[in-house]
A and B are shown apart, each in its own frame.
Chain A
């Protein structure tokens, strides 16, 4: 009886359909982009804990070793075909010769995702996008700037209805600009699954190009979105965000 009550309580808390949250603040999988888009007018404000296994091998090193970081973001979908996000990733600084333990600095970047073709009955949705897009696209002297998260991608997504259960197949080609992120280059993708009894929650399995990552996300209390994942089945990443409908 108690178990049923707990289950019903959780089921009632889960409301609103949710595209999977990504560490960039945009829709997607866990560490892999997809062609899913948030609803028009959706605004997200959130933060994500980034395990050191998730951060680039350069730029997030303090006293010779990598450290866990976190980011915070604001993302929005102004039209049904474009999604924008601005992300600040906290870093530890070396101001002059001094050492400062806290996260005094940050790396800011913009993510853009454009979906020219939405999903049809037969054809999948197609999208392309850029992370760290401001410097990727507009800066001519790339060697002068940090491009820790700079990458571009093309993605395709197709969903299937299996007796009320939703199965999503996602395939992308991704290319990071910096060599220290090259391990995540190439064909990447994953599977999402939403059971019919919890349609607003997603179970996600993906291949990032270098390792496997599994995770869950769900929306509770209408506006709060939660996500947790294990990179390489052992390194925890987690985040939450508030979602608002501007319409």
Chain B
């Protein structure tokens, strides 16, 4: 077996039989727990305690742009990685969703490792409501090369105050023609709160988080929302990086009034520019579970939860279906 950087290649070459048996046991236990959690998530819609609202059924074929840049070179301004992100979102009704996304490099100065088409995301999600808490569970392959299970929860206390949290239990994977994955063994997540100031259409957010490279830190954000975009200024303290900060510009992409057809072809909902003062590959990193996930819209469909900037006006709407 080839062990490299905490990753286990699945095209096995057995060298050490004893270690392989131990690892198989650990993998079996983790796979079982993974399957149990998947099963729990799948049956959660059948119980009488879940009150998820019906969502419309759509199959969205998506195309987006993923722009990355870093300033670590003396001979050029930036190293740039530009990728297009074809994908799909199958909204199956009752807030079940299957989503997938590929990362196709168009311009790459990040090195050969990023030069191949790779899987960006393939996961199953379910949004539901448990009492006053809105929740979203996901299983599968997420962005940032993480796979496993993820649970998000959002509690709107008032129209201007909310608490939120996320827990993930994941391992690392890479699928770019070859597939390899490490065991699911890492807990990540955050707890935090949001204050929405309606008069200024501004959201304050504070979180305490454990990130995917086991670093942890605090983050404070000020988000200024506009009709179709959000500006986000943030400051971070991380136990490995120290103080950092930056800004995000989130631009929601048209069409804002979407078709009511079952199959729709559209761009991803947003383009996000994220600029940090200190660049680092391994600090304050998180993953996404939805190709359309962004700080402007939050985690939930608008027919399930409308809070903050979405409470009054939503960015996207769907045309009414014509009478048969």
Contacts and interface: CB of A to CB of B under 8 A. Distances in A.
Q: Tell me if chain B binds chain A.
A: yes
A246 interface: yes
Interface string B57-91: 00000000000000101111100000000000000
B74 A100 contact: yes
B228 A93 contact: no
A105 B277 CA distance: 15
Interface residues of B, number: 17
Contact of A78 (B71, B77, B224, B228): B224
Given A102-B75, A246-B227, A246-B228, 17 more contacts: A43-B229, A76-B231, A76-B249, A88-B77, A90-B77, A93-B74, A95-B75, A100-B75, A104-B74, A104-B76, A104-B77, A105-B74, A106-B71, A106-B77, A134-B277, A246-B231, A247-B227
Give the 5 A-B CB pairs with smallest separation, nearest first: A95-B74, A246-B226, A78-B224, A104-B75, A246-B229
23 contacts: A43-B229, A74-B249, A76-B231, A78-B224, A78-B231, A86-B275, A93-B75, A95-B74, A95-B75, A100-B74, A100-B75, A102-B76, A103-B77, A104-B75, A104-B76, A106-B71, A106-B77, A134-B277, A246-B226, A246-B227, A246-B231, A247-B226, A247-B227
Does more than half of chain B's interface fall in helix, strand or loop, or is it mixed?
loop
A110 to B, nearest CB: 9
A118 B71 CA distance: 39
A79 interface: yes
A43 B249 contact: yes
Interface of A: 41, 43, 74, 76, 78-79, 86, 88, 90, 93, 95, 100, 102-106, 134, 246-247
A140 B275 CA distance: 24
Given A246-B226, A246-B228, A246-B229, A86 B247 contact: yes
B73 to A, nearest CB: 7
Contacts of A102: 75-76
A41 B228 CA distance: 11
B224 A79 contact: yes
Nearest to B275: A86
Interface in B73-130: 73-77
A88 B275 CA distance: 12
